[in-house]
Structure 1
Amino acid sequence: MANLFDRLGGATVFTKIDLKTGYWRVRITEGDEHKTACVTRYRLYDFLVMPFGLTNAPATFCTLMNQVFREYIDEFGVVYLDYIVVYSQTLEEHLVHLRKVLTRLREHELYAKLSK
């Protein structure tokens, strides 16, 4: 934690990005869909993508996010579950950092919540 505060200490510009339905970008392993079954009075439904609430969903999603943003973590980004914090020392630098993060989101078909 102290390391995080050291990195953020020189930053003056911050942006927090909250992902929209990020967990749904993780496909359930083919053949394991039945493990996510939900029964209603009408029928049985299996998830094809990872729903929020599965025991290992947070760890699985953290692994994905750490892989996607590995180049930016500790440089100008902090990732926690479906939140990304971009930090910079100047506004000009921040715009460059934001462009990199938003480009990476687009490349991996991850989307930010515009309402936040």
Structure 2
Amino acid sequence: MPLGLTNALTIFMDLMNRVCKPYLDKFVIVFIDDILMYSKDENEHEEHLKAILELLKKEELYAKFSKCEFWIPKVQFLSHMINNQGIHVDPAKIKSVKNWASPKLPTKTRQFLGLAGY
């Protein structure tokens, strides 16, 4: 991709979605330059990993090995914790809300309710 391309992010996301389309929402999630894979067990994960790596090789796309993580039981992604139990809010975010001082003014109450409404 040429340096300075104004829509580079959009074009790259479109490319990744088109390349991974056969596997999207089956065992792959693509977000910007992240590829998340999920599987029921290690054998299935190995098959999924092989399929994705072959797909990337076929399309002449390469992953930097030092930035890859394999067979991890949980991952923190977009302020959420994802594991075999499902998707949860990051515990660090919950802790900061629990430690929030009680609002005394109407504007502070509205600010807190805006956050809590998320």
TM-score by length of 1: 0.54
Q: Which residue of 98, 105, 108 maps to 2:49?
A: 98
Whichever residue aligns with residue 8 of structure 2, its letter is: A
Q: Which runs of 5+ in 2 are unaligned?
A: 68-118
Give 1 or 2 for the bigger CA radius of gyration.
2
- Higher RCO (CA-CA < 8 Å; seq separation 6+): 1
Runs of 4+ in 1 over 2 A off after TM superposition: none
Whichever residue aligns with residue 54 of structure 2, its letter is: T
Distance 2:36 2:25 in 1: 11
Counting only pairs closer than 5 Å after superposition, residues 56-71 of structure 1 correspond to structure 2 as: 56-71=7-22
More strand by share: 1
Q: Deviations over 1:10-31 (max 9, x none)?
A: xxxxxxxxxxxxxx3xxxxxxx
1:55, CA displacement in angstroms?
2.5
Whichever residue aligns with residue 24 of structure 2, its letter is: I
Q: Deviations over 1:53-75 (max 9, x none)?
A: 53311111111111100011100
Alignment partner of 1:86 is 2:37: yes
Q: Which residue of 17, 22, 28 maps to 1:77?
A: 28
Distance 2:12 2:65 in 1: 21
Whichever residue aligns with residue 102 of structure 1, its letter is: L
Give the aligned CA root-mean-square deviation in angstroms: 1.2
Distance 2:54 2:30 in 1: 16
